[in-house]
Every structure is written in C-alpha cells, then in structure tokens.
Chain A
C-alpha cells in the first residue's frame, strides 16, 4: 500500500500545536511507517513553491493549525485546501480563531499603535509601522498584509475535520491519527474527541448546588481539591466546553478556560458560559449582583477566550 502523504502547517499560532503533535512520543514511528511527511515548515525544508508545484489533491491529509490573520496565511489555507484531499483544523486557533482571535476586539490600526508606538518598552522615535511594500536600495521588499479581522480556518476554506484543544491533548491527537492510519475516519465534519459531552463529564470533582457570592481569579485563592471549582467561585468553562481532554486543568486546580470549544449542539460558546456563570450568582439584589459581576474584569476575554472569531458577534464594533 502506498504511504499516506501528510502535510502540516502553521498559520497564526504560537507553536504549541507542533509540540502537541510531537507529544504522541514513540507513536510517531507508527505514523512514519504509514505516512510520508511532504510539508512541515517547523521541521523539514520544503518551500512554498514546492507545495505550489504539487498536483491538486496530491496531499492525502493536511493538519492545519493557527488562525488566519494575514494574506500569507489566507493564501496558504487556500493552496493547502486545493492540494489536500482531507483538510483538518488542528487546535483551537484553526477551529475557532483561538487566542489570536481576541484581536477582533480591536482592529489593525489599534493593534499597530499599541504594539509599535504605545507599549512602555517601545522606543520608536521615527514612528515606524510595518508596511506591505518598502522601496529598499536593492529593490522592492514586500511582507504579507495584516487583516483587521482574524478568522478561523473554516471561515476561510472548507474544513473536513476538527481536532480541538489549545493545544490538543495527546490522546485527542492520537485518536485522530489512529483513525487516519486505520482508514476509519468518522463522518466528514466531525469534531474528533473522546467525549462530546461537557468537560464536567470528564471532571472527577464533586458537584453540588452552585451558589456564588464572590468570583475569584486563579491567583486569588487556593481551591479545595475535591469540590467543583465553579462552586468555589472560580469561573470554570467546563459546563459549556467539549470534553475528551480528560479535564487535566480542573484536576490541577485551574478552572477550564474552554479550549476544546463549545459542547456538541452549541455554536456560541461564550454566551452560554456567560449565561451559566451569571445564573449561579447567589443574590436577588441588583447592587450586590453588580458588585459580584465586578469580580470579572474581562468578560469578553473570559467567555470567548478561544472562540471570538467564530462567535455570533465575530468581532467588536470600532467606531
């Protein structure tokens, strides 16, 4: 049997997905037995022009991580879609926009002003800001365009499967790779994970009545080790987040932040998180409710930490 042709690419991401891919450990030898890696910028020296020269549909599977925020990433997403039979969104950024997607609370101008002019550690007297074209003595230099709005991979091209997580847990990555090796891929469009129910279903903490009179940030308390973190006032996204990760964060005293994306059947994870969190506030007095809400300094970043581009609003309105 001919080997599977596998490509891996990174767009707007942190590099954590590459580490997650290597986390499968010695199982990578099993993967190499059946697959040839034809493109993987982090590890092998194959240029964009080499990918361009490949015939359409010649790559069997492409694992694409990262969101789309520049013209280069958009170009590569389109090219890899054309060249690949199966395109898999790997990780929270490709799936829902991820952490880079929080940039949608701003636009390019605001981000550039902050990054190149306003940050206290920046010394930029000439007020240099990246431009897509620059006339150097040697000729014209170009860099990709930076978009106002970050998009998920599925908002840019058609996606066949999704592997969730920031980064995906080793077990989730292997679940997908195994089904690929054994040629038992699930129906197209599946979000591949061990559990379609919420993270709470994976979480071994004891769950009882939820009534909260104060919300804490993780550094403010040392939680009791066996009781549900939400009951202790930590905003935990477990109830609105797809399980399958095995709930490692709550077991390490950190509330779930929602990286596996919404539970099956939900599209807008953040508004469900908001709804559930507000409902457990134990007060019927508007002033006290407001005081408890003040404990959550960044609602948008808390509720849409990994899903802002894919959410109902998609981005902030800049006046």
Chain B
C-alpha cells in the first residue's frame, strides 16, 4: 500500500473552520489528508499539542486562524504568531523540517484559500516523506 501523508489540522472555530466548511459546501476539491480538529482559537493550540500530534504519527501539522486583527478573542492569533516561529526553530533541532508545521490565516469566506493551502501542504509533506518518529535515532523507547 502506498504511503499517504497524515496531517493534523487545528482550525479556529470562528474563521478557518468555517472557511473549511465553505470549501466543502462550494465543492472545491482538496486533498483528503488533513484530519481536522476544531479549536476555539489558534492560540488554544499549545506547542505540546503539535508535539503530541507528531509523536502520535502525524507527518505534518497545520494551524489555521483568523487574519491578524480579526481574532474573536482580540489577540489570540498574535500569540500564535509568536509561538509558531519559535517552535519551528526548536523542531529543526529535533530533525523535524520546517515545512511539517504550517501556520496560515484563513477567514470564513476563504474556502478556495483553504483548499489551496491543504493541497500545497499535502504535496510538500509528501515530498518530505514519512516523519517516522518511532525510529528516530535508530532505537527509540526502552533500550
């Protein structure tokens, strides 16, 4: 069986989740590789959620939130904007490529943008191949 990238998508309830909904209603074709988790705000996504997703077998993690200035909670997405680059910098030290974590802004009216982000990320992760954290250093788990 051929390998398909597994991507966990954390979508903000107020904008991006609705953008994803719109993509579905408008029947815009997008890759079926994203497992969507609805969160109240992109800043609800603690860095540990991202690590846990990778640990649990995700090949990529997609975080989508409201455009800067549009946050339902006024400044949640700004906090996400600060965390993700630092998390990416740290993940590089763990051998996890930058393209495996993506933060983008998708509003409720941007169904087409949602679809294009999902397609683009799926192809980038496909090109990187499986993350395969369970064989990270040769041996993993109890030696």
A contact set with B: CB distance below 8 Å? 68, 74, 104-105, 107, 147-149, 151, 155-156, 268, 270-272, 274-275, 277-279, 281, 283-284, 286, 289-290, 293, 296, 298-301, 303, 311-319
Q: How far is the CB of B143 from chain A (nearest CB, A)?
A: 5
Which of B10-18, B117-125, B134-142 forms contacts with chain A? B134-142
From A68, A148, A317, B94 is in contact (CB under 8 Å) with: A317
Chain A residues near B72 (CB-CB < 8 A): none
Sample of 6 further A-B pairs with CB below 8 A, known A298-B93, A299-B93, A313-B55: A74-B143, A278-B82, A289-B82, A299-B89, A300-B93, A312-B52
Is the CB–CB distance between A300 and B94 below 8 Å?
yes
**A80 vs B50: C-alpha distance in the bound complex, in angstroms?**
37
For this complex, 7 residue pairs linking A to B, each with C-beta atoms less than 8 Å apart, are A156-B142, A289-B82, A289-B85, A312-B51, A315-B94, A316-B136, A318-B137
Contacts A293-B89, A316-B95, A317-B131 known; A148 to B138 CB distance under 8 Å? Answer: yes
Is the CB–CB distance between A272 and B96 below 8 Å?
no
Is the CB–CB distance between A279 and B83 below 8 Å?
yes
Chain B residues near A284 (CB-CB < 8 A): 68, 75, 78, 81
**A268 vs B133: C-alpha distance in the bound complex, in angstroms?**
17
Chain A residues near B131 (CB-CB < 8 A): 317
Q: How far is the CB of A146 from chain B (nearest CB, A)?
A: 10
B87 within 8 A of A: yes
B contact set with A: CB distance below 8 Å? 46-48, 50-52, 54-55, 68, 75, 78-79, 81-83, 85-87, 89-90, 93-96, 131-133, 136-140, 142-143
Q: How many A-B residue pairs have CB under 8 A?
A: 114
Q: How far is the CB of B133 from chain A (nearest CB, A)?
A: 6
Q: How far is the CB of B96 from chain A (nearest CB, A)?
A: 6
**A149 vs B136: C-alpha distance in the bound complex, in angstroms?**
10
Is the CB–CB distance between B55 and A312 below 8 Å?
yes
- Looking at chain A's contact residues, the main secondary structure is mixed
Is the CB–CB distance between A316 and B82 below 8 Å?
no
Is the CB–CB distance between B140 and A315 below 8 Å?
yes
Nearest CB in chain B to that of A272: its residue: B48
Chain B residues near A107 (CB-CB < 8 A): 137-138
From A74, A274, A296, B47 is in contact (CB under 8 Å) with: A274
Contacts A284-B78, A317-B96 known; A296 to B138 CB distance under 8 Å? Answer: no
Is the CB–CB distance between B139 and A149 below 8 Å?
yes
Is the CB–CB distance between B47 and A275 below 8 Å?
yes
From A279, A290, A293, A315, B137 is in contact (CB under 8 Å) with: A315
Q: How far is the CB of B67 from chain A (nearest CB, A)?
A: 12
Nearest CB in chain B to that of A68: its residue: B143
Q: How far is the CB of A284 from chain B (nearest CB, A)?
A: 5
Q: How far is the CB of A70 from chain B (nearest CB, A)?
A: 10
**A190 vs B68: C-alpha distance in the bound complex, in angstroms?**
44
Chain B residues near A318 (CB-CB < 8 A): 95, 136-138
Q: How far is the CB of B49 from chain A (nearest CB, A)?
A: 9
Contacts A148-B138, A293-B86, A300-B93 known; A271 to B55 CB distance under 8 Å? Answer: no
Contacts A147-B139, A149-B140 known; A289 to B81 CB distance under 8 Å? Answer: yes
Nearest CB in chain A to that of B50: its residue: A271
**A68 vs B81: C-alpha distance in the bound complex, in angstroms?**
38
Is the CB–CB distance between B138 and A313 below 8 Å?
no
**Most chain-A Cβ atoms within 10 A of its Cβ — which of B78, B89, B94, B138?**
B94
